[in-house]
Amino acid sequence: MAEFRLNNITREQILIVESRSKRPKDFKSAETAEKVKYKDNCPFCVGNEDNTPPEIFRLGSPWEVRVVENKFPILDREGDITGYHYVLIETADHSKGFHEMDEEEIFKVFKSYVEVCKKLYEKDDVKYVQVFKNYKKEAGASLEHPHSQIIAIKKMPDKINNKIRKYRELYFKNSRCLMCKTIEEELQYKERVVYHDEDFIIYCPFASIFPYEMAIAPIKHKSSILNLCDDDIRKFSGSVLKAIFKLNQNIGDVPYNMYLDFIKNENNYYHYEVRLCPRLSINAGFEIATGLYTNIVSPETAAKILRD
């Protein structure tokens, strides 16, 4: 029996079709690559720095995080729509996934996100910056060495524009940020909450598109990550790490997409968050044709399993 759910902001339509037979262990874990600290032919490994395009940013000496231009950018300074496309090398260790990092290591990754995004937003030809990570081949990663990507674009994408407009509309209607309200309700309802402390909540959103999808958001209203102090970044990255641990422990070392959703300036209606979208099933023909997504694990079941 399918249950229909609608995302009120994006208008995405989701069919929750929970299959009793499908338990976490039934999702095949993607093959785990051999664990090595260094690979000769990897451009992101220590010692091979000359094999990457120009460096934009580095943290630590010797470097612990490095940001370089993408060798195959989807946007550059020419063409109909211009932009910047960077790769953020998260660690010097060729095989260290987020789930194997400690709090200090993931803090450095998030600190670098913030610093690089700040610089990008200072440019005249940048309207929007997106930080994301494709983990494993099945989620779109083309290189093994742990990395994220940052894309800055001259034109605000319509999807983001519409989201901002919708959040603003609802704020003026209800005199309240919708996400602040959602978070308060989720904390009361509890069923979709995976974890929370005083500052952050991890929950499985009501209209999740992906099985075990998680949102990680600050409980106190905030729109941007650009002006977070180190302490705030530490709490933020620590919460994301917690969500990654939960996924790794309870579901496995599975492919996922992670993205940061934030805007440049503070306002009363846009609330920043991180989305973690495990890629255990593939949206195929029907989804592409109709825009109806099928999710075979309800967010309530997902949260119950992830909470452990």
| Least distance (Å) between residue 179 CB and Zn ion | 4
108 binds Zn ion (CB under 5 A): no
Span near Zn ion by CB under 5 A; candidates 128-136, 217-225, 288-296, 299-307: 217-225
Q: Identify the active-site residue in 85, 147, 221, 271.
A: 147
Burial-class residue 230 by CB neighbours within 10 Å (0-12, 13-18, 19+).
Answer: exposed
Span near Zn ion by CB under 5 A; candidates 90-98, 154-162, 232-240, 249-257: 90-98
Span near Zn ion by CB under 5 A; candidates 12-20, 33-41, 77-85, 256-264: 33-41
Span near Zn ion by CB under 5 A; candidates 18-26, 38-46, 155-163, 201-209: 38-46
| Least distance (Å) between residue 257 CB and Zn ion | 21
147 binds Zn ion (CB under 5 A): no
42 binds Zn ion (CB under 5 A): yes
45 binds Zn ion (CB under 5 A): yes
Chain residues 249-308 in contact with Zn ion, contact rule CB under 5 A: 271
Q: How many residues bind Zn ion (CB under 5 A)?
A: 11
- Is the CB of residue 235 less than 8 Å from the CB of residue 200? yes
| Least distance (Å) between residue 238 CB and Zn ion | 20
Comparing CB distances to Zn ion, the nearer of 163 and 304 is: 163
Q: Is 42 annotated as a binding residue?
A: yes
DSSP collapsed to 3 states, the chain: CCEEEECCCCCCEEEECCCCCCCHHHCCCCCCCCCCCCCCCCCCCCCCHHHCCCEEEEECCCCCEEEEECCCCCCCCCCCCCEEEEEEECCCCCCCCHHHCCHHHHHHHHHHHHHHHHHHHCCCCCCEEEEEEEECHHHCCCCCCCEEEEEEECCCCHHHHHHHHHHHHHHHHHCCCHHHHHHHHHHHHCCCEEEECCCEEEECCCCCCCCCCEEEEECCCCCCCCCCCHHHHHHHHHHHHHHHHHHHHHCCCCCEEEEEECCCCCCCCCCCEEEEEECCCCCCHHHHHHCEEEECCCHHHHHHHHHC
- Contact code string over 152-191 relative to Zn ion, x by CB under 5 A: -------------------------x-xx-----------
- Is the CB of residue 195 less than 8 Å from the CB of residue 242? yes
Whether 147 is a known active-site residue: answer yes
Choosing from 136, 145, 196, 279, the residue that interacts with Zn ion (CB under 5 A) is 145
- Contact code string over 47-86 relative to Zn ion, x by CB under 5 A: ----------------------------------------
Comparing CB distances to Zn ion, the nearer of 32 and 290 is: 32
- 53 Ramachandran zone, left/alpha/beta (phi>0; psi -120 to 50): beta
User: Which residues have a catalytic role annotated?
Assistant: 147
Residues belonging to the binding site for Zn(2+) are 42, 45, 94, 145
- Would you tell me which residues interact with Zn ion (CB under 5 A)? 39, 42, 44-45, 94, 145, 177, 179-180, 221, 271
